[in-house]
C-alpha cells in the first residue's frame, strides 16, 4: 500500500508513504478516493508531509478529487505541503482553488467547521420576516 490510512470519527486522514507522487501513486490515489466517497464518513484529509515531489498530472488529479468530494457534500483538505510541492501547485495556478492548511490539526478544524456548516444548512429551512 502506498498510503497510510487513519480513520477518525468525522474524517479519514490519507498520508502518502512514498516521497514521489507520480503515475503509479496517482492511480492508487484515484482508486482510494473512489472508495472513500462510498463510505458513510466521506470527509478526507490528504497529509502531504512525506511527499518531496509531484508531477503535474497528480496535481490535477488531486484538484479534481477535491471538487468531487465537495460535490458529494464532503470535505477534502490538503495539509503539510512542503514548499516544493506547494510551488508545483502554485505553478499550475491551483493553490487558490484548493483547501490547504499548514498543519493536520488545522485541517481537522476545517473539516469540523464544514461539517457544522453542512448540518446547519441541511437542517430546517430558515424563514426570515421582512419588516417593511
Prediction pTM value: 0.88
| Closest alpha carbon to 44 in 98, 123, 90, 122 | 98
Per the structure, the complete domain to which residue 38 belongs is given by: 3-122
| Residue 127 lies inside a defined structural domain of this protein | no
Q: Which residues of the chain have pLDDT under 50?
A: 128
What CATH number is associated with residue 40?
Answer: 3.30.750.24
Residue 113 lies in a domain: yes
Instruction: Tell me whether residue 31 is in a domain.
Output: yes
Could you tell me which of 47, 49, 2, 5 has the C-alpha nearest to residue 22? 2
In DSSP terms, which residues pair with 78 in a beta bridge?
A: 46, 100
The reported pLDDT for the residue numbered 122 is 77
Asked whether residue 36 is assigned to any structural domain, the reply reads yes
132 in a domain, yes or no?
Answer: no
Burial 78-95 (b: 16+ CB within 10 A, else e): bbbbbeebbebbeeeebb
Cα angle value 1/50/56 (rounded, 5°): 85
Predicted local confidence at residue 121, as pLDDT: 85
Residue 130 lies in a domain: no
Beta bridge partners of 100: 78
CA distance 83 to 129: 50
Flag whether 131 is in a domain.
no
Give how many domains the chain has, as a whole number: 1
Q: β-strand 44-47 against 76-79: which pairing, if any?
A: parallel
Amino acid at each position: 500500500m502506498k498510503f497510510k490510512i487513519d480513520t477518525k470519527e468525522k474524517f479519514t486522514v490519507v498520508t502518502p508513504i512514498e516521497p514521489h507522487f507520480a503515475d503509479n501513486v496517482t492511480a492508487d490515489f484515484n482508486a482510494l478516493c473512489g472508495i472513500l466517497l462510498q463510505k458513510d464518513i466521506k470527509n478526507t484529509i490528504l497529509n502531504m508531509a512525506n511527499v518531496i515531489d509531484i508531477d503535474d498530472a497528480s496535481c490535477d488529479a488531486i484538484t479534481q478529487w477535491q471538487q468531487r468530494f465537495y460535490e458529494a457534500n464532503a470535505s477534502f483538505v490538503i495539509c503539510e505541503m512542503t514548499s516544493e510541492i506547494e510551488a508545483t501547485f502554485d505553478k499550475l495556478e491551483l493553490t487558490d482553488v484548493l483547501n490547504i492548511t499548514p498543519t493536520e490539526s488545522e485541517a481537522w478544524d476545517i473539516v469540523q467547521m464544514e461539517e457544522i456548516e453542512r448540518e446547519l444548512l441541511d437542517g430546517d429551512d430558515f424563514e426570515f420576516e421582512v419588516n417593511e
